[in-house]
């Protein structure tokens, strides 16, 4: 439901979200300035926005139904797959950072041993990756990840196969970053840089509807003349 309100001589729009859309966006309402002081223009803009919002909500409901059907079939959407891989990457990074938070246990001997272990891990993972043995290599890790996220996937599904593939690729990237950290080369080893290198979302949102609805409604609302 749309509400037209006036603050400081400028009209604003309050968009109260239906319960199902509110659940998707994790918001109960959106607020925007219409950038006009004349009520006639404000009403004209609201009329244009109302039509656009109605269509958008229907597309979002259809998309939610599509996702539900895919999950019922044991498959993940591309965004869900990427978010799951992102969670795995963050777990790896956080584990390393926690283990090396103060560096008190590090000396030349322990650094050498860790470097040796990292080199072995990188070579092993790259060999498995090149031989396309990602499912055999990452199956246990993926099972633990899915269990923690309360996601059920058929191990013969395309999504499970791709999840093993992408997590192995991510593991190689994180191990290489860990090695650079031990060598005091910190360029590109922070969480944001690693996620960007892997083409994953930094803030945890995929191509979500929240960004779409905010940008699109603002675009209509702030146009000098109504659509």
**Segment 168-214, tens digit of pLDDT:** 999 999 999 999 999 989 999 999 999 999 999 877 554 444 444 45
Order of all β-strands in the sheet with 2-7: 2-7, 10-16, 29-33
Distance, in Å, from the CA atom of 71 to the CA atom of 73, rounded to the nearest integer, reads: 5
Contact yes or no for 172/126 (Cβ under 8 A) = yes
Q: Is 108 helix (H, G, I), strand (E, B) or coil?
A: helix
Contact yes or no for 13/4 (Cβ under 8 A) = yes
List the alpha helices (DSSP H) in 9-133.
Answer: 19-25, 39-72, 78-99, 108-130
pTM of the model: 0.59
Please give the mean pLDDT across all residues of the chain: 81
Contact yes or no for 1/19 (Cβ under 8 A) = no
Compare 195 and 110 and report the one with higher pLDDT: 195
| CB atoms closer than 10 angstroms to residue 134 | 22
Query: Which DSSP letter does residue 26 get?
Result: T
Strand partners, 7: 10
> For the CA atoms of the chain, what is the radius of gyration?
24
Smallest Cα–Cα separation from 164: which of 199, 129, 189?
Answer: 129
Confidence of residue 160 (pLDDT cuts 50, 70, 90): very high
Note the pLDDT tens digit of each residue in 28-62.
Answer: 887 778 888 888 888 888 887 877 788 878 877 77
| CB atoms closer than 10 angstroms to residue 159 | 22
Mean pLDDT of 67-79: 67
Strand partners, 5: 12
Contact yes or no for 15/30 (Cβ under 8 A) = yes
Strands 10-16 and 2-7: antiparallel
Contact yes or no for 110/144 (Cβ under 8 A) = no
Q: Is 190 helix (H, G, I), strand (E, B) or coil?
A: coil
């Amino acid at each position: 439901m749309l509400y037209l309100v006036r603050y400081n001589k400028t009209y604003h729009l309050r968009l109260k979200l239906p319960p199902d859309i509110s659940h998707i966006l994790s918001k109960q309402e959106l607020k925007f300035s219409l950038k006009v002081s004349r009520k006639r223009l404000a009403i004209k803009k609201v009329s244009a926005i109302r039509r656009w919002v109605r269509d958008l909500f229907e597309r979002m409901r259809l998309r939610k139904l599509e996702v539900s059907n895919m999950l019922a079939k044991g498959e993940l959407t591309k965004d869900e797959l990427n978010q799951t891989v992102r969670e795995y990457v963050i777990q790896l990074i956080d584990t390393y950072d926690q283990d090396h938070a103060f560096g008190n246990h590090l000396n030349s001997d322990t650094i050498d041993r860790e470097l040796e272990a990292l080199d072995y891990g990188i070579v092993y993972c790259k060999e498995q990756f090149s031989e396309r043995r990602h499912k055999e290599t990452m199956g246990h890790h993926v099972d633990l990840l899915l269990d923690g996220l309360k996601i059920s996937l058929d191990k013969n599904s395309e999504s499970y196969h791709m999840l093993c593939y992408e997590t192995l690729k991510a593991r190689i990237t994180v191990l290489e970053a860990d090695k650079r950290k031990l060598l005091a080369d910190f360029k590109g080893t922070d969480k944001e840089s690693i996620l960007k290198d892997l083409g994953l979302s930094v803030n945890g949102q995929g191509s979500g509807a929240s960004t779409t609805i905010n940008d699109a409604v603002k675009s209509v609302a702030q146009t000098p003349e109504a659509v």
